[in-house]
Amino acid sequence: MASLFRRKSADVDVVSEQADVDEASAEVARPRGYTPSKREQGVQTPKRPVAGRRPGGAAAGPALNKDEAKARKRELRQEAAAEFRRAGGPRDKGPERALVRDIVDSRRTVGTFFFGGALLVLLGSNRAMPPIVQYVSNLLWVVLALGVVIDGILISRKVKRMVRERFPNTTQRNGSLYLYAIMRSLTFRRMRVPNPRVKIGDKNI
In this predicted model, which residue has the larger pLDDT, 128 or 152? 152
Lowest mean pLDDT among 13-22, 43-52, 69-78, 153-162: 13-22
Q: What was the pLDDT predicted at 43?
A: 54
Arithmetic mean of pLDDT, 69-79: 82
The DSSP code for 112 is G
Supply the pTM of this predicted model: 0.61
Three-state DSSP at 196 gives coil
How many degrees, rounded to 5, is the angle at CA 161 between CA 160 and CA 167?
85
Among 17-21, 60-64, 113-117, 149-153, the range with the most confident prediction by mean pLDDT is 149-153
**DSSP per residue over 30-87, as a string?**
SPTT----HHHHTPPPPPPPPTTPPPSSSPP-PPP-HHHHHHHHHHHHHHHHHHHHHH
Highest average pLDDT, of 8-12, 119-123, 170-174, comes from 170-174
What is the model's pLDDT at position 14?
43
Instruction: Place 19 in a pLDDT band, splitting at 50, 70 and 90.
Output: very low
113-117, 144-148, 177-181 — which is least confidently predicted? 113-117
**Looking at 53-57, 84-88, 127-131, 201-205, which range is the least confident one?**
53-57
> What confidence score (pLDDT) does residue 54 get?
52
Q: Taking a C-beta distance cutoff of 8 angstroms, is the pair 88, 81 a contact?
A: no
What average pLDDT does this structure show over 137-154? 94
Q: What's the rounded mean pLDDT across residues 65-89? A: 80
